Amino acid sequence: MSVVSNQELVLVTGKGGVGKTTLTAALARAAHRSGRRVLVTEVAPDVHNPSPVLGYFGKAQYREEEPVLIEPRLFGVRLTPPIGHRQFLRAALRVRLLVDTAMKSAALTRFLLAAPTFPEIGLIYQLVELLRSKKFDQIFVDLPATGHAIALASLPKVVHRILPTGLIGDAIGEGLAIMGDPKRTAAVVITLPEAMPVTESVELIDAFSKCSIRVASAVLNKLPPDPFNHDERKSLTELLERRRGTGEPRLLGTRELRRLERAQNAQRSFHEVLPPDVARFEVPLFEGLDHRRVAEEMEATLSRPVRPSWGPR
């Protein structure tokens, strides 16, 4: 079982800071290794800031609007509202000069960025154009954190109701068809072994399913390693119990042990509360590694058929 199979669109989402970008890089790298033509993308406000996800592939920053070649069969591009708008206008007007002039008009840019849905329409238009190009076997999208991701996921349906036809309507309709088909789109939710994040990941899965996007897999990331076996844990717990209330200072390990227990409880709940059709994966906390090595370790962990781990199943 793998996190995603050969869906043409893979959407990675989760709360802020849980490992979305690392997972996007790990999954894209695995797909690339298996011989596919891969495009790695991320949602960003514009093309000028350094790109977190491309940093995993040795490309920190680039300004191109079109996908850039990172390695043979591996491409990167940013999904940004301005690029999407430009592509849309270009398709609508079919005259490049006019489009560039139009986009330089501060009033037009302000207008396009003002209405809450316009920036996202640009993103979706750009994504659909990339899917239409058929240049890639698989497109991996590092989505923004939860709230924005839900807004993005729910938008196509709303817009399609208002604009069922025309250039935007057609593109959005195509996007909806792709995203609503689990053979073509896989969403992956990543979370941490803590009570709130696990609950929120279930809500996120639910919100996506309301947008007709199926979450194929959930990844529980940063599981702390458990240094104790069953007997050791038992004697440690007894020791800590005996000391409780004796007035002696708390042992240093107490907090760490509680932290482990909380993680294990969250792990249990992760397996209990997720909808049964969502495949589950676990990734340990890798300590002392830089972000690229973390992504490599994550890729290796997720490619192994047996889940790692500790704690009861």
Binding-site size, ligand ATP (CB under 6 A): 17
Find the shortest distance in angstroms from Cβ 16 to ligand ATP: 4
Among 16, 164, 166, 275, binds ligand ATP (CB under 6 A): 16
129/142 with CB nearer ligand ATP: 142
Beta strands in the chain, from DSSP E residues, in sequence order: 9-14, 38-43, 68-71, 74-79, 138-142, 185-191, 215-223, 279-284
Which entry of ligand ATP, Mg ion, none binds 310, CB below 5 to 8 A by partner kind?
A: none
20/32 with CB nearer Mg ion: 20
Strands 185-191 and 68-71: unpaired
Given strand 138-142, what is the order of strands in its sheet? Answer: 68-71, 74-79, 38-43, 138-142, 9-14, 185-191, 215-223, 279-284
Find the shortest distance in angstroms from Cβ 274 to ligand ATP: 19
Burial class (CB in 10 A: 0-12, 13-18, 19+), 146: buried
The answer to whether residue 51 forms part of the interface with ligand ATP (CB under 6 A) is no
Find the shortest distance in angstroms from Cβ 20 to Mg ion: 5
Which entry of ligand ATP, Mg ion, none binds 222, CB below 5 to 8 A by partner kind?
A: ligand ATP
Q: Which stretch binds ligand ATP (CB under 6 A): 71-79, 175-183, 197-205, 284-292?
A: 284-292
For helices 81-93 and 96-104, angle between their N-to-C axes, nearest 10 degrees: 140
Element (DSSP H or E) covering residue 33: helix 20-33
Which entry of ligand ATP, Mg ion, none binds 221, CB below 5 to 8 A by partner kind?
A: ligand ATP
The answer to whether residue 291 forms part of the interface with ligand ATP (CB under 6 A) is yes
Which entry of ligand ATP, Mg ion, none binds 188, CB below 5 to 8 A by partner kind?
A: none
Distance of CA 210 to the CA centre of its chain: 18
Among 7, 9, 11, 21, binds ligand ATP (CB under 6 A): 21
Q: How far is CA 13 from CA 61, 206, 225, in A?
A: 22, 13, 24
20/29 with CB nearer ligand ATP: 20
Find the shortest distance in angstroms from Cβ 29 to ligand ATP: 13
Interaction residues for ligand ATP, span 129-148 (CB under 6 A) = 145
Give bridge partners of residue 282 from the DSSP assignment: 220
Nearest to 85 by CA among 126, 47, 54: 126
Residue whose beta carbon is closest to Mg ion: 21
Binding stretches for Mg ion (CB under 5 A): 20-21
Taking a C-beta distance cutoff of 8 angstroms, is the pair 208, 215 a contact?
A: yes
149/171 with CB nearer ligand ATP: 149
Among 221, 266, 278, 282, binds ligand ATP (CB under 6 A): 221
The answer to whether residue 285 forms part of the interface with ligand ATP (CB under 6 A) is yes
Among 7, 22, 80, 138, binds ligand ATP (CB under 6 A): 22
DSSP assignment, residue 49? S
Cβ neighbours for 269, distance < 8 A, ≥ 6 positions apart: 195, 198, 199
CA pair distance 41, 143, nearest whole angstrom: 9
Which entry of ligand ATP, Mg ion, none binds 286, CB below 5 to 8 A by partner kind?
A: ligand ATP
Taking a C-beta distance cutoff of 8 angstroms, is the pair 18, 191 a contact?
A: yes
23/112 with CB nearer Mg ion: 23
- Token look-up 């969403």 returns 187
Which positions touch ligand ATP (CB under 6 A)? 14, 16-22, 145, 221-222, 283, 285-286, 291, 294, 298
